[in-house]
Chains A and B, each alone.
Chain A
Amino acid sequence: MTNTSAHSEHYDAQIPKMGMWLFIFTEMLLFGGLFIVYSIYRYIYGDAFHLAAQELNLTIGTINSMILLFSSTTVAIAISSIQRGNKKLSAIFIIITMVLGIAFLVNKYFEWQVKIGHGLYPGSTVLAGFGHGDTLFFGLYFAMTGLHALHMIIGLVIWGYALVFIQTGKTTQDRPAFIENSGLYWHLIDVIWIFLFSLFYLIT
């Protein structure tokens, strides 16, 4: 059933892209598991979730949303720059993205600190006094925003590598896969945040 054909070696840009998308699917479902848990407990403890959500600071949440939306745009510009062959501009916009990412995390850190200062953290007696709904709301809040923040940190490390790869010429106009894939990862983090923001901060 076989015939012969000549050797042909060529770069298939679809391979890294498809690999990254499949990885993104697994990430979506990783968070998906938490969203299932969230939905169930919001269904069971709807009223308590509403009250507990008022403890969250909508202003800080909104600022963080803006930061991430901006960073998604800077990422997009970094990618289109490298695709046009402008390595320097691409590097600059990656650095801006990283600064925005760090700003998000700093913001998040202070937000968490205030919550913990008020005794609103898993295992605290204050929280246990509020009842089951509040306990689960803040448990989920810390678990989901924590996992999200962990992804941001990983994303920052990846951007660090991207800068190195631009410097060393491993990522170029012809082989932009690394930056494109890092961008996909960063946008995914953004998409997840949009849902986290809607489900934690926007309950009245």
Chain B
Amino acid sequence: MEHKKTHILSLKAQISILIALIVLTFMAIGVTKIEMGAYSLAVILVIAAIQAYIIMAYHMHLKFESPFFRVMVILLFILFLAVLFVTFLDYIYR
């Protein structure tokens, strides 16, 4: 009875999401061919994060859900990065 607005993506939209994801994958592979030293890891992770964002936003419908889900996913990533950072405080300065 509540708001019955399950958002359904069109086939066209889904195909373009797929193409975007494939293009990004080959971009990441291409980056490994260029010599960038430590930066290549950063670029690859950024590309992976963009892909993850696309999948979570569209395939996993986060874009159309209540803000609670989005906020929690963001907080989860912040939590993970913070834990990683604090752990590294030991290893970097050891």
What residues make up the interface of A, taking CB atoms closer than 8 Å to B? 10, 14, 17-18, 21, 25, 28-29, 32, 35-36, 39-40, 43-44, 58, 62, 65-66, 69-70, 72-73, 75-77, 80, 83-84, 176, 183-184, 187-188, 190-191, 194-195, 197-198, 202-204
What residue of chain A has the Cβ atom nearest to residue B21's Cβ? Answer: A69
Task: Output the least CB separation between A70 and chain B (Å).
Answer: 7
Can you report 14 residue pairs joining A to B where beta carbons are below 8 Å apart? A14-B66, A35-B84, A62-B25, A73-B18, A76-B58, A188-B60, A191-B55, A191-B56, A194-B51, A195-B52, A197-B48, A198-B44, A198-B47, A203-B32
B interface with A by C-beta (< 8 Å): 1, 6, 8-9, 11, 14-15, 17-18, 21-22, 25, 28-29, 31-33, 40-41, 44-45, 47-48, 51-52, 55-56, 58-60, 65-66, 68-69, 72-73, 76, 80, 83-84, 87-88, 91-92
Q: In terms of DSSP, what is the predominant structure of the interface of chain A?
A: helix
The majority secondary structure among interface residues of chain B is helix
**Chain A residues within 8 Å of B65, by CB:** 17
A198 and B40 contacting across the interface, CB-CB below 8 Å: no
Instruction: Choose one: A10, A35, A69; the contact of B22 (CB below 8 Å).
Output: A69
Task: List 9 other contacts, CB 8 Å, given A77-B14, A190-B55, A191-B55.
Answer: A32-B80, A35-B84, A36-B83, A70-B18, A183-B60, A190-B59, A191-B51, A194-B51, A198-B47
Task: From known contacts A66-B25, A73-B15, A198-B45, infer whether A43 and B91 are also in contact, taking CB-CB under 8 Å.
Answer: yes
Shortest beta-carbon distance, A140 to chain B, in Å?
Answer: 15
